[in-house]
Amino acid sequence: MAKRRKKTEAAEEAAPVVEVKAEVKAEVKPPESHQVADGKALTSRRGILGPGARIEASDLTGGKEAFEGFLNSGHIVPVK
């Protein structure tokens, strides 16, 4: 009579072995941090953000376009 193998051994033999090796060479840049300027406040998706609050383009309904507008007007400044 033939020996019966355990199910796990049979499954390991039947399953193909695939090795995946991927090299990812992406330049990782730290995100620029910005904050609301002193004496200013902005209404965002997270609510009203006061002076010193960290802010990103995704916080604003207008996105990157609105963010750049506030940056140019001085309402948003880089974190020091």
Which parts of the chain have pLDDT scores under 50? Answer: none
Q: Residue 23: inside a domain, yes or no?
A: no
pTM above 0.75, yes or no: no
Q: How far apart are CA 27 and CA 52, in angstroms?
A: 29
User: Residue 46's domain spans which residues?
Assistant: 30-80
Q: How many domains does the structure of the chain reveal? A: 1
Instruction: Look at phi and psi of residue 26 and say left if phi exceeds 0, alpha if psi is from -120 to 50, else beta.
Output: beta
Alpha helices for the chain (secondary structure H) = 7-14, 63-73
**Looking at the domain assignment, is residue 70 inside a domain?**
yes
Around Cβ 28, how many Cβ atoms within 10 Å? Answer: 4
For residue 80, the model assigns a pLDDT of 79
